[in-house]
Amino acid sequence: MRQRRLPHSRRALRWSAVLSIALGVTLCSALSGAMASPARPLVSSPDWNFFLNGSEHPSYIPSQTVITPANAPGLVQNWDDFPTTVFFSSPTVYDGSVYIGSDQGWFYQLDESTGAVLHKRFVGSQPKLSCPARGFVPTATVTGAPVTHEPTVYVAGPDGYLYALRASNLTLEWKSVIAIPSTTTSNYFDWSSPTIAKDTIYVGVSSNCDHPLVRAGVIAYNQANGKQIAEFYTVPKGDIGGSVWSSVAAIYNGDVFATTGNGPEGSPTSQRLGYSESILKLAPRTLKLLGRFQVPAAQVTYDGDFGASPVIVGDDVGACNKNGIFYMLSQATMKVVWEERLGSGCISSPVVDGSRLFLGGESTTIAGVSYGGSMQERDAATGALVWETGLAGAVLGSPAMDGGGVISVPIYNGSTQVPSMYLIDAASGAILDELPTGMADFAQGVFAESQLFTANAKGVQAWRPKS
């Protein structure tokens, strides 16, 4: 792969709602400006217990330093589970266990060291109706319950419920309705991973594969008992669209941010309804609208929307649109600080490492050479490009980075001839290794407890440096 490093200089598709691959699995979308205040401290836990590793979505774990650019080329598989099972959910790692849901509708607790199944629970799956059959896509969050402080797993199920399960054995604490899917058509589906901040859970509401679209939005729940606190609709009553495919970002003691999808299929861009194709700023708990950015009409693509989850960067918030442009906004004004095109499309969330952003995109051209996707480093304050590396396939899942300076980059593809997980040196953009993890890496490869955990169309894997 060709890679080049550039000086600091500024330069100015919706991914199909249904992406078919050779396995016959179809996946639908769906984890700064000059900083006026210091960046918030990053989590130093050895666990990766939130989707995108926190409510602000940094996708970075500074405490994990065992895997480095020096030993990344020699990673070996510690264990490999469910080689014939498809996983779109990302692994969640907490206190010696890995929690993950399969496309078949089972939710698992695995031993972090051996991969042995400790507990499992069948939640359900949606049958093939107007959309293909589908099980889990959202990633679980594991954290202490507000009252009991007992470790609890929070996950959105394919059956339309939000679950709170005991982390020790996956028994039920409570469940609450998000949106119950129809038995005759594929309408509602939970793509959004739950986000927790200040004892409140936020979940996006979306359609399954746009056939049909639904009236979408964001729902807030009481973390202690699952009671619905508030809801925000992205289109007016009686209309459909504005799906929240992504996960909500939440500042622990502050505002909530959500990215939204498109309006009804075939609507002219001048007739986009409600808060479609937008980054929304909402009040915590009440979900009152505080601000909004909508993609300018000149940059709207047919069937385009935000599939990527928003990310908090100091006093800014950013997200990538399927038109291929990453938008960085001021949280205070919700106006553009900078914007840069990453490629033909983009649905992944970036890694945030203080002043640096590491972003994945779809097909692009670098120095006259065409690539299926790319990774880039950009300055968070200005968007200036530092390096970019061409990759064989599109980055549809989100990259992750450890404190050793290694970035895991999932590649979603339908061919074993294309690498499905790259390891990249954060300092230079150099490709360190290509892991043979299998096809369809939509899940984020996460670093925790001195290992790298991956999930894809060929199961769940754990990787470690050679002894």
110-120 tens-digit pLDDT: 999 999 999 99
Q: Is the pLDDT of residue 247 over 70?
A: yes
Amino acid 20: pLDDT: 35
Residue 413 · residue 21 · CB < 8 Å: yes
Residue 189 · residue 243 · CB < 8 Å: no
Q: How far is it, in rounded angstroms, from Cα 157 to Cα 65? A: 33
346-376 tens-digit pLDDT: 999 999 998 999 999 999 999 999 999 999 9
Whole-number Cα distances in Å, 115 to 53, 91, 234, 452 = 21, 12, 41, 13
Out of 81-85, 377-381, 411-415, the most confident range is: 377-381
Q: Is the pLDDT of residue 137 over 70?
A: yes
**Encoded tokens for 66:** 């065992």
Number of domains into which the chain is organized = 1
389-441 tens-digit pLDDT: 999 989 999 999 999 999 999 998 766 666 789 999 999 999 999 998 766 78
Q: Which residues pair with 153 in a beta bridge?
A: 142, 165
Confidence tier at 274 by pLDDT (50, 70, 90): confident
Mean pLDDT of 255-267: 82
Q: How far is it, in rounded angstroms, from Cα 134 to Cα 127? A: 7
Amino acid 92: pLDDT: 98
SS (H, E, C) the chain: CCEEEEEEECCCCCCCCCEECCCCCEECCCCCCCCCCCCCCCCCCCCECCHHHCCCCCCEECCCCCCCCCCHHHCEEEEEECCCCCCCCCCEEECCEEEEECCCCEEEEEECCCCCEEEEEECCCECCCCCCCECCCCCCEEEECCCCCCEEEEEECCCCEEEEEECCCCCEEEEEECCCCCCCCCCEECCCCCEEECCEEEEEEEECCCCCCCECEEEEEECCCCCEEEEEECCCCCCCECCCCCCCEECCCCCEEEECCCCCCCCCHHHCCCCCCEEEEECCCCCCEEEEEECCHHHCCCCCCCCCCCEEECCEEEEECCCCEEEEEECCCCCEEEEEECCCCCCCCCEEECCEEEEEECCEEECCEEECEEEEEEECCCCCEEEEEEECCCCCCCCEEECCCEEEEECCCCCCCCCCEEEEECCCCCEEEEECCCCCCCCCCEEECCEEEEEECCEEEEEECCC
Of 429, 394, 400, which is closest to residue 412 (Cα–Cα)?
A: 394
Amino acid 456: pLDDT: 92
User: Looking at 55-59, 234-238, 312-316, which range is the least confident one?
Assistant: 234-238
Say how many C-beta atoms besides its own lie within 10 A of residue 34's C-beta: 12
Amino acid 267: pLDDT: 59
Out of 80-84, 138-142, 296-300, 389-393, the most confident range is: 138-142
The amino acid that residue 249 corresponds to is: A
Amino acid 414: pLDDT: 64
Confidence tier at 148 by pLDDT (50, 70, 90): very high
Amino acid 415: pLDDT: 60
CATH number at residue 280: 2.140.10.10
State the chain's mean pLDDT as an integer: 88
Kindly report each contact of residues 173-180 with a partner whose C-beta sits within 8 Å and lies 24 or more positions away, as own/partner.
173/145, 174/225, 174/226, 175/226, 176/221, 176/226, 176/227, 176/228, 177/228, 178/203, 178/205, 178/219, 179/205, 179/214
Amino acid 300: pLDDT: 87
- Look up the domain containing 32 and give its range: 3-464
**Encoded tokens for 42:** 């990053």
- Report the share of the chain in percent with pLDDT over 70: 87
Amino acid 27: pLDDT: 42
Give residue for tokens 């929690």.
Answer: 99
Amino acid 417: pLDDT: 61
Amino acid 272: pLDDT: 63
176-227 tens-digit pLDDT: 999 999 999 999 999 999 999 999 999 999 999 988 999 999 999 999 999 9
Which is more confidently placed, 27 or 272? 272
Q: Kindly provide the residue ranges of all beta strands, DSSP E only, lying in 11-54, ordered along the sequence.
A: 19-20, 26-27
Confidence tier at 35 by pLDDT (50, 70, 90): very low
Mean pLDDT of 315-321: 97
Amino acid 13: pLDDT: 31
Q: Is the pLDDT of residue 2 over 70?
A: no
Look up residue 271 and give its DSSP letter: G
Beta strand 117-122 pairing with 373-379: unpaired
Which is more confidently placed, 377 or 37? 377
Mean pLDDT of 73-98: 95
This prediction has a pTM of 0.90
Q: How far is it, in rounded angstroms, from Cα 147 to Cα 206? A: 30
Amino acid 436: pLDDT: 82
The amino acid that residue 383 corresponds to is: G
Confidence tier at 12 by pLDDT (50, 70, 90): very low
Amino acid 32: pLDDT: 34
